[in-house]
Structure 1
Amino acid sequence: MYFKTLLSVVDVNQSNDDLNVAIDLCSELNAQLSVMVVALAELPPIGDYPIGTADVWLKQRQEDQDALARRVDEIEFLVQDADISAAVTDEYPEMARAGHLIGRRARYADVTLIGADLLANEGLRTKAIDGALFESGRPILIVPKDSKPTLKPKCVLLAWDSGVECTRAAREALDFMATATEVHVTMIDPDTSSIANGAEPGADIAAYLAHHGVKIIVDRLPSGGDPIATVLKQHAIDIGADLIVMGGYGHSRLRERIFGGVTKSMIDESDVPMLMAH
């Protein structure tokens, strides 16, 4: 079954670009759109602040909440004009709670859209990705700037390393891959040991997907010393992939943020839309 509910997380001050992408995808799949409008609240003043600081904080909160209400009204008109089934809600959390609230809302959607405007939002981007990916049990769809997302792709790159994360991603994308013209199971420097990819890397997942009617091509690529993310991104361009399917954060988030990693590089630099699961 194709995705039937899509969650779009938007900052109160961002443009309608991500929403328009979400509307187009919902129209493509005849799916319902859930919009979560978020404004991040400042923490209350504490300690020996000058007299009047609390009043300034309360005034700012009221202005934020008024802006949030206006933005919800604007979006409700937008989705009404788009003639799709939609529900619009709002949240006004402190930064520390934002990821949890987004993750909780994402549990009730089939996929969460992380659009280009949200990717450019330094305050909300990490909370949205972490919350949706780690606290919902659902995949996320990352849509880079100037890309053309579709959930009916003709050519799919499945990044494969035999890990749990990419296994989950493959299962989430199974229906899309079954209708694609070709799916490239792509492995970079595959480990042929028995505890990794086995003597014939990619054969196991290829057999599984073939049973579901997926048209499989197994690509085993050398990195040549380049980062794995660089090889994946170039291969996606070379094969004309409409969508990259991959697991997210095979290593810990802290390790990836400190030392870098495939997930972080793909989120930061890919030009092709990605369906990612953890």
Structure 2
Amino acid sequence: MSTAPRTTTMHAAQPLAAWREVGCLAAQLPCDGVALAGAAAIASAAHARVTVSQLLPMPVDTANAWALSMDPVIAERHDRIRRDARRQADDIRQRLATRAVPGDITTLESSFEEPASLAAMAARRTDLSVMARPSDSVTDAAYTHTIFAGLLLASGRPVIVVPEGSDLVMPIQRAVVAWTDTPEATRAMHEAMPLLLHASAVHLVTIDAPASPLESAANAGDGAAALLQAHGVAVTVDRIRGQGRATSRQLLDYCRTVKAGLLVAGGYGHARWREWAVGGTTRELFFETSVPTFFSH
């Protein structure tokens, strides 16, 4: 299904104008530069600001009834973490200045508050968040997944995950929308609209979509595609047969085939405990994606 899009004057002028504050998570990891580059690319295209949340998990002193002051070893570690954070902040300011993107940095020290909770709190003051996922360290990837889950479930804002080794390039040439007839997928599609309007081509993909009271299985996704077209998005519907393969693998294979620069997906459509216990598409996409992925819950 492909129809010439109807483009409104507002959409043609500046589809990204809805975004004024682009959040960026700096998790004190080597891949933080990937997140900053992605956030800066969006902010530059949208004429928006970048708000960097520098997350510092601080080691906590062990309770000691005889101690009258903090363990000097812990205090020294705190000082080292803060020094490293100041160096990173200076580097971030330089990178933003080089890209001519306005922005600021907020340092969030996490001692007794969960890091993910602090990150979500900061993200509520932005239009969307950008974070990176490390590729080489299993421990770092697990840590960033915890932050990602907190952001997605508790911030009320969409999250773009940029895997290390990839780039979020604007304007996006090809985007893939993973469509299921659920609130999460619908919200993701709507919240990604500024990027979809910016894209040269959009593929709306369904995998083994069942029939519904509004659409037959043969027409699954047509209603969502018609809405995208009404907004001015050039969209094609592709219906895929799963053949027993994991949904995440099917989606990522499809993204590679069409050379997508962005994947849009609803996040945590099942209860989160089920995602953690037996796995799920959101969790698998986070760990396996090789393309920048826009999640919304």
TM-score by structure 1 length? 0.88
Counterpart of 2:158 (choices 128, 132, 139) is 139
Instruction: State the match for 2:6 in structure 1.
Output: none
Counterpart of 1:14 (choices 30, 34, 38) is 30
Structure 2 residue identity aligned to 1:12: Q
Change (3 A) 1:234 1:39: same
User: Following superposition of structure 1 onto structure 2, how do residues 65-104 of structure 1 map, counting pairs within 5 Å?
Assistant: 65-94=82-111, 96-104=113-121
Instruction: State the match for 1:160 in structure 2.
Output: 179
User: Following superposition of structure 1 onto structure 2, how do residues 227-238 of structure 1 map, counting pairs within 5 Å?
Assistant: 227-238=246-257
Instruction: State the match for 2:191 in structure 1.
Output: 172
Q: Give the total of aligned pairs.
A: 277
Change (3 A) 1:118 1:20: farther
CA separation in 2, counterparts of 1:4 and 1:147? 24
Higher RCO, Cα 8 Å, sep 6+: 2
2:135–2:163: 8 Å Cα contact kept in structure 1?
Answer: no
Instruction: State the match for 2:244 in structure 1.
Output: 225
Instruction: State the match for 1:262 in structure 2.
Output: 281
Tell me the CA shift for residue 275 of structure 1.
0.8
Larger deviation: 121-130 or 183-192?
Answer: 121-130
Tell me the CA shift for residue 277 of structure 1.
0.5
Change (3 A) 1:70 1:146: closer
Q: Secondary structure at the match of 2:71?
A: helix
Instruction: State the match for 1:56 in structure 2.
Output: 73
Structure 1 residue identity aligned to 2:227: Y
Tell me the CA shift for residue 34 of structure 1.
1.0
Q: Secondary structure at the match of 2:106?
A: strand
1:29–1:151: 8 Å Cα contact kept in structure 2?
Answer: no
CA deviation string 1:54-73 (max 9, x = no partner)? 33223322332333233323
Instruction: State the match for 2:11 in structure 1.
Output: none
User: Following superposition of structure 1 onto structure 2, how do residues 99-138 of structure 1 map, counting pairs within 5 Å?
Assistant: 99-117=116-134, 121-122=140-141, 124-138=143-157
CA separation in 1, counterparts of 2:288 and 2:163? 8
Larger deviation: 39-48 or 119-128?
Answer: 119-128
TM-score by structure 2 length? 0.83
Change (3 A) 1:257 1:57: same
Structure 2, unmatched stretches of 5+, are 1-14
Structure 2 residue identity aligned to 1:174: M
CA separation in 1, counterparts of 2:274 and 2:79? 39
Change (3 A) 1:159 1:108: same
CA deviation string 1:23-43 (max 9, x = no partner)? 333323322111111221112
Tell me the CA shift for residue 168 of structure 1.
0.5
Is 1:192 the equivalent of 2:211? yes
Structure 1, unmatched stretches of 5+, are none
Tell me the CA shift for residue 187 of structure 1.
0.6
Q: Secondary structure at the match of 1:137?
A: coil
- The root-mean-square deviation of aligned C-alpha atoms, in Å, is 2.6
Change (3 A) 1:117 1:86: farther
Q: Secondary structure at the match of 2:40?
A: helix
Structure 1 residue identity aligned to 2:96: V
CA separation in 2, counterparts of 1:127 and 1:96? 14
Q: Secondary structure at the match of 2:210?
A: coil
Is 1:210 the equivalent of 2:226? no
Q: Secondary structure at the match of 2:26?
A: strand
Tell me the CA shift for residue 174 of structure 1.
1.5
CA separation in 1, counterparts of 2:159 and 2:135? 13
Counterpart of 1:33 (choices 39, 43, 50) is 50
CA separation in 2, counterparts of 1:155 and 1:13? 29
CA deviation string 1:153-179 (max 9, x = no partner)? 222111011111110001011122234
Tell me the CA shift for residue 47 of structure 1.
5.5
CA separation in 1, counterparts of 2:254 and 2:100? 38
